[in-house]
Chains A and B, each alone.
Chain A
Amino acid sequence: MEYFLQQLINSLTLGSIYGLIAIGYTMVYGIIGMINFAHGDVFMIGSFVSLIAMVLLGVGTGAFLPLALLIVLLAAILVTSVYGWTLERVAYRPLRGSFRLAALITALGASIFLQNFVQVSQGAKIKPIQPIIQGGFTFFENGSMVVSFSYLQIFIIIITVILLSIFSYIISKTPLGRSQRACEQDLTMSKLLGINVDRTISITFIIGASLASVAGMMFVLYYGVIDFFIGFLTGIKAFTAAVLGGIGSIPGAVIGGLLIGLIETFWSAYFTIEYKDVAVFGILVIVLIFRPYGILGKPEVEKV
């Protein structure tokens, strides 16, 4: 039972990271109907920017920790957003309106480019970092079994909840969010209402990149090691989360992320850790066969 609870806490943390990345996939798919396969690498960029900011600020060496982490967070969001914006501007916009495969191939190309760019500029070796947020609450101990909620896990979950609240407020209540949802449903009509569609698409990429960069920062803190290749596997898992939740659905992406976190953690805990990725992708296959529109995605029902 204690073991189970502990795994639940762990899975929630991992699920937060996947959920934040999955939103980027699902939003971009929703608005321009393409899978941005470079999104995982945008997340990787976010983790590198965080790491660099941490080293520059000397985070963990006595500096005032919450403030330092806030600065790292903002730096990661800012720099990674620029990458997200540039990616759309340079790689995707010129091909908009071209055949669908073109966007897919470009996305893969952009992904390879970003990986190689980081490999060349930062080196291919893995980058370790000292644990920065240590300690935690212990709920109860029973002999050798301990259920604990580390401060780091609390930090990750709280940041995720705050970000998701801000994000859902923007999407549901602001003119920007309304434009975003209108563009998702009908680009031409959105133009006819005076929405600057290009700008809305740019903002979508910026929002997706921001959320992914925060996930990148969490990844650095949680695992303590990163390299230029982390975006691939983590990105594909977050993509799986988006498909599982129903691609195009934002709440679906969050739920999908949490479920993937749950599956991965519990598979590692009760079966074999070596096959955790197989478990995750096995789920993807099952979802695609039996419910290709995902948990919250619905086949369009529309009265004409």
Chain B
Amino acid sequence: MLIAKNISSYYGNIQALDNISIEVNKGEIVSIIGSNGAGKSTLLMTLCGIVPAKTGSIIFNDTEISTLPTHEIIRMGVSQSPEGRRIFPKLTVYENLLIGDPLKREKDINLEFIFEIFPRLKERINQRGGTLSGGEQQMLSIGRALVSQPSLLLLDEPSLGLAPIIVKQIFETIKRINKENDTTILLVEQNAFGALKLSDRGYVLVNGKVTISGESKQLLENPEIKKAYLEGV
């Protein structure tokens, strides 16, 4: 579904991604783990065309997308819940969801599945986004990314700053989205243990490079990863 080959990207003169290749197959949950500043968010932004890829190619459903403007990539069926959630604080929950598919009219937008997995959003439908709690904002951000019914969903640190019990709920919901809604998911996480337990395969990102990759089950057993990311969890 998504094949990124040898991509490098830069913030000014600083190289953020160094020759990265990843692959996501239809129906999978793939996780990318790594510490702060490893380039995880940059990778998602590069896939979406916000940060330009200086080298390499990104192919989504047999189309080269690395040269397309962001809105065209999104309209092909990619969607992202970005770092920091970035909900619209002045719009209501309902409007935040409607904007998830900006080309459709209100009456053509179906929010049933989103309210089913996040009943809390339905309760708060007329509240402004900025007044929600962190967990609710995360739900809204994921919900908004689902409105356009993407085939590939990119999630950037959905567990960041949330209480452990909420993190558990969010991870369970991600599994549901993958199974029930047939959505392929690329998950970026610092919470390596949670992400690897949830996903089918994983990549470890260190200083903008992929160092280890493989089946999540094997990665959980890998002594290096255990030492670097899983100890004390």
- Which residues of A are interface residues toward B (Cβ below 8 A)? 173-175, 178-179, 181-182, 185-186, 188-197, 301-303
B105 & A175 in contact (Cβ 8 Å cutoff) = yes
Within 8 Å of chain A (Cβ to Cβ): is B82? yes
A32 and B144 CA atoms in complex are apart in Å by 24
CB < 8 Å neighbour of A194 from B74, B90, B105: B74
- How many angstroms between the C-alpha atoms of A179 and B130 in the bound complex? 18
Contact pattern, B 79-98, Cβ under 8 Å of A = 1, otherwise 0 = 11010001011110001001
Q: Could you tell me which B residues sit within 8 Å of A by CB distance?
A: 48, 50, 69-71, 74-75, 79-80, 82, 86, 88-91, 95, 98-106, 130-132, 144, 148
Contact of B90 among A185, A191, A197 (CB under 8 A): A185
Most A Cβ at <10 Å: residue of B102, B103, B132, B144: B102
Find out whether the CB atom of B89 lies under 8 angstroms from the CB atom of A302: yes
Measured CA separation A192–B48 after assembly (Å): 7
A193 with B130: CB separation less than 8 A: no
Are the C-beta atoms of B100 and A181 separated by less than 8 Å?
A: no
Give CA–CA (A186, B89) in the complex, Å: 10
Q: A186–B80 Cα gap in the complex (Å)?
A: 14
B102 / chain A contacts, CB cutoff of 8 Å = 175, 178-179, 182, 190, 193-195
Quick one: closest B residue to A173, CB to CB?
B106
For chain B, what secondary structure do more than half of its interface residues adopt (helix, strand, loop), or is it mixed?
loop
Chain A residues with CB below 8 A from B88, complex form: 181-182, 185-186, 189
* Chain B, Cβ-Cβ closest to A196: B71
> Which A residues are CB-close (under 8 A) to B80?
192
Write out the residue numbers on chain B whose beta carbons fall within 8 Å of the beta carbon of A175.
102-106
Knowing that A189-B86, A192-B86, A194-B70 are A-B contacts, what are 5 other residue pairs whose CB atoms are under 8 Å apart, sorted by A's residue number? A174-B105, A178-B98, A182-B102, A190-B102, A194-B102
Q: Output the residue of A182, A190, A192, A196 with the most chain B CB within 10 A.
A: A192
B104–A181 touching, CB < 8 Å:
no
Q: Beyond A175-B104, A302-B130, is A191–B99 a contact (Cβ under 8 Å)?
A: no
Residue ID in chain A nearest B74 by CB atoms? A194
Chain A residue contacts of B90, Cβ below 8 A: 181, 185
Pairs A–B under 8 Å by Cβ, sample size 19: A175-B105, A178-B91, A178-B99, A185-B89, A185-B90, A186-B86, A188-B82, A188-B86, A191-B70, A192-B79, A192-B80, A193-B99, A193-B100, A193-B102, A194-B75, A194-B101, A195-B71, A195-B102, A303-B89
Instruction: State the CA gap A193–B102 with chains docked (Å).
Output: 7
10 smallest CB-CB distances across A and B, nearest first, come from: A194-B74, A191-B70, A189-B86, A196-B71, A195-B102, A185-B88, A302-B130, A179-B102, A182-B99, A194-B75
CA distance A185 to B98 in the complex (A): 15
- Assembled-state Cα–Cα distance A190/B71 (Å): 9
CB of B42, distance to nearest CB on chain A (Å) = 13
